[in-house]
Amino acid sequence: MHTSITKKNVNIKSKAKSDFWEMAEFNRFGVIAFVLAIVACFSAVVAGFFVDGSSQLELTLAIIPTMATLCSILVVAPVRIITIVGALSIVADVLLMIF
């Protein structure tokens, strides 16, 4: 007599995350347009109003994350990477606004 017991472990959270990124990849051009608009406008506001012209370092810190987001879009990186780089760019801009 052969008895086998199988246990199916389905992690609902990881399945939901996977489904989200699959949906985002399917809607790639919409996600890219959204990320591009938010990051470009937010970075322009930070560079225009919060970075004074006396420090090249502040301007460089505002430009590098924005250009990293644009480069990730141009090299056709996965949507997950584009959104992560875009989010990090917004965090860097918020830090420049605060300090």
Summarize pLDDT for 60-83 with one digit per residue, the tens.
999 999 999 999 999 999 999 999
Cα–Cα dist 80/51, whole Å: 29
Residue 3 above 70 pLDDT? no
Neighbouring residues of 43: CB distance < 8 A, sequence distance ≥ 6? 62, 63, 65, 66, 89, 93
The verdict on residue 46 lying in a domain is yes
- Let me know the angle formed at the C-alpha of 69 by 20 and 29, rounded to the nearest 5 degrees: 50
Question: How large is the C-alpha radius of gyration of the chain?
Answer: 20
Residue 90 above 90 pLDDT? yes
**Percent above pLDDT 70 for the chain:** 88
Structure-block tokens of residue 35:
């990320």
Q: What is the pLDDT of residue 10?
A: 56
Tell me the residue range of the domain where 36 lies: 28-98
Domains identified in the chain, total number: 1
pTM for this predicted structure: 0.82
Cα–Cα dist 52/91, whole Å: 19
